[in-house]
Amino acid sequence: MSGRLGDRFASALRYAHEIHRSDTRKGSSTPYVSHLLAVCALVLEDGGDEDEAIAALLHDTIEDHADEVTRVDLEARFGTRVAEMVVACTDTPPDYRGGEKPPWRERKEAYVARLRGKKYPGCRLALADKLHNLRTTVTDYRRQGDGIWKKFNAGKEDQLWYHGALVEAFREAGATGPLAEEFERCVTELRRLARAEGS
């Protein structure tokens, strides 16, 4: 696509900032919008279009702010395709409206199963999201060691299972190219660090 993003993107950026303005990255004071912009950049660098860039900015709205944002809201503001991509990146059930989420492992297993059926580039946004999260995790692991697991809702073994399952799901979905390759390298590095820390 061309380097120009239009008014819809600008509107999505304002909306994302409004929804996530009080959010920070897990275990840090970094504004959450930094993650959204990083995922957006990865999607665009991989050839994504404006709808995908918009969905990247909004990909956590339903999951993290279900009391404020619904699929219907996103469809009305940004169209059906954007809303569908956001829903595909959401690991909470369709009827989730805030409060306590279902058990972590149950959500992740269902999410991985859905990814397997998303032929690439249909899962490009999910891959970009997981890659940026994983880059951050690897960087934090180098600084903090096993202490990083305390900030997550699941421990070391569950997290290592999840990332391995994502590798397989993205492969099955036909993901290739720089994003998929870097994700696999980061998973390998995370496992190496985990082994070194545990020895």
Beta-bridge partners for 176 = none
pLDDT at 194: 93
Q: Collect all residues with Cβ–Cβ distance below 8 Å to 59 and sequence separation of at least 6.
A: 36, 39, 85, 86, 89, 90, 125, 129
Residues 111 and 24 in one domain: no
pLDDT at 198: 66
Prediction pTM value: 0.95
Q: What is the mean pLDDT of each run of 10 residues along the chain (199 residues)?
A: 83 98 94 98 97 98 96 98 97 92 95 94 97 97 92 92 97 96 98 83
CA distance 1 to 7: 16
Residue of 121, 112, 117, 140 whose CA lies nearest to 180: 121
DSSP secondary structure letter of residue 170: H
Residues 193 and 167 in one domain: yes
Domain boundary among 79, 98, 117: 98
166 neighbors 115 (Cβ within 8 angstroms): yes
CA distance 31 to 93: 26
Residues 194 and 162 in one domain: yes
pLDDT at 196: 86
Residues 155 and 191 in one domain: yes
